[in-house]
Each structure stands twice: as C-alpha cells, then as structure tokens.
Amino acid sequence: MNGIPSDRRDVAVVLGTRPEIIKLAPLIRLLGDRARIVHTGQHYDSALSSTFFANFGLPHPHLLLDGATGPWGRGAQIGSLTAELARSFVTDPPRAVVVQGDTNSTSAGAQAAHYCGIPVVHVEAGLRSGDRAMPEEINRLVVGVLADVHCAATEQAAANLLATGTAPERIRVTGNTVVEATLMSLPDPAERDRIAHEHGADGAFVLATVHRPENTDSPERLQALLTALADLGERVVMPLHPRTRAKVKQFGLEHLLERLTVTDPVDHPTFLALADRARLLVSDSGGVQEEATVLKKPLLVVRTSTERPEAVTAGFSRLVEPGRPLLDAARAALADTDLHDRLAGTASPYGDGTASQQIHALATALADRAPLPGAAPGR
C-alpha cells in the first residue's frame, strides 16, 4: 500500500466501490484538507475510479489498498482489509473515520477504526432488509454495533436503529447524500439529449441494469428477467455489468441480448442522463432506488426484498419478480399516463439535499471531541 500521511487530514473517509465514491463525494468536498481518502481497492479500476473522482473534482486517494477478493472469498477480503486499515490507523491515526453504506469496505473500515480506538461515523445508517442471506445485511448489522454516530437517511432508518438498542443520542436523521450527489452529477438538458442519442436511446425507451448475484447467479432468474425485457415491445437500453455479461455467456443466453440495446458500463453522469430521459427504470441496484426519487422516475426493483422501503411507500418503486410479474408490471407502468405527473409532485423521502452538510458537522464535531449538533430522534 502507498500513503500520503498528513497531520491535517484527520478525518479518514474509507471507501471501496463506485457507489461509495458517488455518495461520499459531496462530504469529501466539504471536508477539504481535513479529508483523508482511503480507497480499499474493493472495486478498483484505475480508469473507472479516476473518472469517478474526476467527475466530482476529488483528489486521488491518499491511501490505496489492494482489496481484490482473490480465491478466498468475502471473509478473507474483510479480514485482510481490516488488518491493513488497522496498520494504517496505528501508524498515522485519524481523529475520526467515516464509512458509508453496507459494503465489505464499510465493515472493514468500521472494525479497524473501532479496534484502534478511533470513533466511527456511519453514513446511511439503519438500513435493514431483514434478509440475512444478503451479504450487505450482515455488514449493516456489524457496523450498527460499532459506529459512534449513526447518520440515518430517514426516520424509518432511525427507528430500525432504536429497535436494536442504539442510544438515541448517537443517531441523527440527516437525509441521504445521494440527493446532492445526483444533482451534482446530472448533466444539463442538452447534454442529456446528446448522451441519449449516443447510446441509441432516441425517443421512448426503458433503462435496465442488473448486477446482483440474486439475479445473475441463477440461470432461471436471469433468463426470466432478460426474456421479460426482450418481450416488452419497447426499446430497452441496458448498460451491461461485467458480472452479468459473464453469466449471460456462461448460461448461453446471448440470444436474449440481441433484442436489447446493450452498452458497456457507463459513468455516473451518463447513467443519470439516460435515467432522466427514460420512461421507466428496471434495476436491482440499491442506489438506483434512491436516485429514482430524485429524478422523479418510476422504478421496478427486481429483487425479493429491499432495505429501502421508503421509495416503495412514496410510490417511486415497486418490488417485482423476474419473468411474467416484471413484464406485467412494466406494461402497466408504461400504460399509466398519469404516473409521471404524480411522481413529479412527490418529494424524495431521502431529504432536501443538505445531508452532506449535516454529516460534515457531525464528523468534524466527533473529530474535535465537541458536542454533536442536531437533535436525537424523538427529541
């Protein structure tokens, strides 16, 4: 690993995946010289990661680890990252560590900081699906025990934390940084039109993304999902995740892609431009469930459970199974002529775009050993 220690960079921001870069970018910008960007390398690609940092005007990571999974799986990855992060924190201790969401990097960052006696801020705390088969759910539970400050995106997330015995004074309802990150990344209208044209998405289309093991590791689910999209009778634009592409080839499903407009993976501004111009979104992504509420777009979530029920309650998203349920739900959404007007008038359940400012105040207060600003839930 290589590092650039700095006495001033006393708030370590641990991240390892592109969604974490997106959601933590507004906070990193607010922290300025106090931010020590620690990239675990969990999903590191020099070209893609550099693009994501550049999109938000961020410096390169101050510390880059080799977080590749290798042949030993998730447990070895979390263990290795925890050890490397702990060595870094002992060598050059930050005064606070920020982690986001529910990745292996999040779990490792929180564990390393806690074992080194450094307070932990958990951004997007309190999400729960109730599905322990999801690796992310276990990561959420682990970090929920270790964090010193829980930045819950919604009142429901705060209630989840309170239900597990988290002290109210450690919880703040901040909203979700995805709101400001989405607005920062969304290109202007003319650029959105250009991007749509460049990706073969002139006119009406559906935008679909699939990457979760729940869908890609099952040949039956993946075939049912792709068949539903192919049978929709609408142009379907699908930036294809490398995992999905590999599984399509492994299961012999390439013929289904011939009926879709398949592209390579895209960066965040490009995805948002396509999502903004689409009539309907279909995805198994957690982040897209939040971004849809900012873009005011209908979303079909192809999953058996979700840790983001607020988007469902607000009317932006709906859980569906692949195959006929997906096909019927998509046709119904496309036929609902009032849907877009209803969503345009519905507020995002993830806040007003001030989450990063609130989290910045909490993280710097924790680092400075000052009282935490804001009120605890119920007070």
Say if residues 11 and 31 touch (Cβ distance below 8 Å): yes
Please give the structure tokens belonging to residue 243: 């995992």
Q: Is 340 tagged catalytic?
A: no
Q: Please identify which of the residues 122, 211, 268, 360 carries the catalytic annotation.
A: 211
Say if residues 40 and 67 touch (Cβ distance below 8 Å): yes
C-alpha of 370 from chain center: 30
Say if residues 100 and 124 touch (Cβ distance below 8 Å): yes
Q: Is the dihedral of CA 60, 179, 99, 79 positive or negative?
A: negative
**3-class SS letters over the chain:** CEECCCCCCCEEEEECCHHHHHHHHHHHHHHHHHEEEEECCCCCCHHHHHHHHHHCCCCCCCEECCCCCHHHHHHHHHHHHHHHHHHHHHHCCCCEEEEECCCHHHHHHHHHHHHCCCCEEEEEECCCCCCCCCHHHHHHHHHHHHCCEEEECCHHHHHHHHHCCCCHHHEEECCCCHHHHHHHHCCCHHHHHHHHHHCCCCCCCEEEECCCHHHHCCHHHHHHHHHHHHCCCCCEEEECCHHHHHHHHHCCCHHHHCCCEEECCCCHHHHHHHHHHCCEEEECCHHHHHHHHHHCCCEEEECCCCCCHHHHHCCCEEEECCCHHHHHHHHHHHHCCCHHHHHHCCCCCCCCCCHHHHHHHHHHHHHCCCCCCCCCCCC
Residues tagged active-site: 211
